[in-house]
Amino acid sequence: MDKIRIVGGNTLSGAIPISGAKNAALPLMIAALLTDDTLTLDNVPHLADVEQLIRILGNHGVDYSVNGRRESQGDGYSRTIHFTARNIVNATAPYELVSKMRASFWVIGPLLARIGEARVSLPGGCAIGTRPVDLFIDGLRALGAEIDIDNGYVVARAKNGLAGGRYTFPKVSVGATHVLMMAASLAKGETVIDNAACEPEVADLANCLNAMGARISGAGTATIVIEGVSALSGARHRVIPDRIETGTYAMAVAMTGGDVLLEGARADLLETALDAIARTGAEISTTNEGIRVTRNGAGIASVDISTAPFPGFPTDLQAQFMGLMTRAEGRSRITETIFENRFMHVQELARLGAHISLSGQTAIVEGVAQLNGAPVMATDLRASVSLVIAGLAAQGETTVNRVYHLDRGFERLEEKLSRCGAQIERISS
């Protein structure tokens, strides 16, 4: 099993290309099930989750081809992939595939809308919480689907097709918003989704669906209106830059000091997070090329944050910000409001010398003057990269184990950081 080895203490200087967003690419790939034409996606990142979803879509009969490197970028980041679901050959998404990645459950919406049936395994447990699928099921029932649970599978049917309806989410859910929006695109009549997720990835999916012939308005707001159409066509769409990767590298620079241009990053996708980083003492500026982050070596100021749905502070940046706060001057409070059990990185940061105490869903971080390298264990995707951020500033050597978590969501992380002066390498077992 691969490991990441870091020798801390180096500042970062240079440029880091920001990859396409994993959280946007996955629903866009699933949208290929909605049409028998080819959907072409540009700027798809090289990630384990993307490769897993390609296998899952193949199980349903989706063919794909990869163009490889973009001509204008010779370093191999991102790809153009063509997806064609000419014929759906299998309406079942089996447990052995769905259990490896929760987002694969989302195929239930397009399968139901396109062929009138779907049999999708319940995804099972998750390291950062239960993440129930009741919102997906209730939303699809509002569109006329008949749904039963049978031996661990969600069995959905719409013999005469889905029908437009109105559904109000009792709790904001990005995944369920994706699914209901895709399903409603092929439903008969108008669908209104209230209390919808406002995340940029939702708007990105809507833009792609509209390019395919859907009629969606309001995506990016709490109310989305979809006028169903009889069929969707192929299209070409570029995946938005990854706001979580952007925030992660911005925090790494704030932690170590230095001057880094985050190429292709968009500030409008994570304004709240960038504001929090700026309040720690880093300087952040936008350019035509992306976002520039600098810190001149002055102390890191403590900042309190609370996670919230977009446009609030992203839960997927909470662990990274905690890593930054371990070196801040004074005390900071970090409150997690989205997922339970998302503080598993606390004990691993403590191995590096961090002083963190927990009170319910709030972590109180007492900044320390120095962290010390140690072997640590990644527990989930975002927790693993918080350990990298801490290791970049720790004295001595840090070894991050279980880096397969990192490979799920960060494209060539060690390569991007080493190009900017970090002493970091992957050790293959």
Identify whether the C-beta of residue 278 lies closer than 8 Å to the C-beta of residue 253. Answer: no
Q: Binding residue per annotation — 131? A: yes
Give me the sign of the Cα torsion angle 245, 251, 252, 257. Answer: positive
> For the residues 288-317, what does the mean pLDDT come to?
96
Q: Which residue of the set 126, 198, 208, 420 is catalytic?
A: 126
**pLDDT in the model for residue 23:** 96
- The reply to whether 110 sits in an annotated binding site is no
The closest of 115, 112, 135, 120 to 182, measured between CA atoms, is 112
**Catalytic residue status for 420:** no
Q: Measured between alpha carbons, how far is 336 from 313 in angstroms, rounded to an integer? A: 10
What average pLDDT does the segment 325-349 reach? Answer: 92
Would the pLDDT of 328 be above 50?
A: yes
Residue 218 tokens, joined = 């309001």
Phi, psi angles (nearest 5°) of residue 85: -110, 65
User: Is 303 annotated as a binding-site member?
Assistant: no
pLDDT tens sequence across 196-235? 999 999 999 999 999 999 999 999 999 999 999 999 999 9
pTM beyond cutoff 0.85: yes
pLDDT one-digit tens code per residue, 81-106: 999 999 999 999 999 999 888 899 99
Is 148 annotated to bind a ligand? Reply is no
Residue 241: alpha-carbon gap to chain centroid:
11
- pLDDT tens-place string over residues 100-135: 888 999 999 999 999 999 999 998 644 434 457 999
Q: Angle at which helices 108-115 and 134-142 pack, to 10 degrees?
A: 20
Angle at which helices 243-256 and 381-393 cross, to 10°: 20
Alpha-helix runs per DSSP H in 225-351: 243-256, 271-279, 318-325, 345-351
Confirm whether residue 23 is marked as ligand binding: yes
Indicate whether 319 pLDDT > 80. Answer: yes
Angstrom distance (rounded) from CA 331 to CA 303: 8
- The end-to-end CA distance of the chain, in Å, is 5
Sheet holding 223-227, edge to edge: 166-168, 190-194, 223-227, 215-217
- pLDDT on residue 367: 98
| The predicted structure's pLDDT at residue 99 | 87
141 marked ligand binding residue:
no
What average pLDDT does range 166-177 have in this prediction?
96
Q: Please give the mean pLDDT across all residues of the chain.
A: 94
In this structure, of 27-41, 127-141, 291-305, 415-429, the range with the lowest mean pLDDT score is 127-141
Ranges of H-type helices in 143-290: 174-185, 200-211, 243-256, 271-279
Tell whether residue 173 is among the known ligand binding residues. yes
Q: How many CB atoms lie within 10 A of CB 214?
A: 25
Q: Residues 266-281: pLDDT tens digits? A: 999 999 999 999 999 9
Range 176-203 burial, b when 16+ CB lie within 10 A, else e: bbbbbbbbbbbbeeebbbebbbbbbbbb
Could you say which DSSP state residue 19 is in?
A: P
d(CA 124, CA 379): 17
3-18+241-427 and 22-238 have identical folds:
yes
- Calculate the alpha carbon distances from 391 to 255, 256, 334, 349, 384 in Å: 10, 10, 20, 9, 11
Specify the CATH number of the domain 22-238. 3.65.10.10
Give the residue extent of every domain in the chain.
3-18+241-427, 22-238
Mean pLDDT of 24-49: 97
Rounded Cα distance between 320 and 248, Å, is 6
Q: Are 152 and 105 in contact, with CB atoms under 8 Å apart?
A: no
Triad 349, 351, 354: Cα angle to 5°:
50
- DSSP conformation letters of 128-147: T----SHHHHHHHHHTT-EE
Q: Is 132 annotated as a binding residue?
A: yes
Say if CB 412 and CB 399 are below 8 A apart. Answer: no
The answer to whether residues 344 and 358 touch, using CB atoms and an 8 Å cutoff, is: no
231-263 tens-digit pLDDT: 999 999 999 999 999 999 999 999 999 999 999
User: Is 338 marked as binding a ligand?
Assistant: yes
Cis amide prior to 311 (ω within 30 degrees): yes
CATH H superfamily, domain 3-18+241-427: Enolpyruvate transferase domain (3.65.10.10)
Query: What pLDDT was estimated at residue 124?
Result: 61
Predicted confidence band at 74 (pLDDT cuts at 50, 70, 90)?
A: very low
Distance CA 106, CA 97 (A): 12
Q: What is the DSSP string of 195-206?
A: S----HHHHHHH
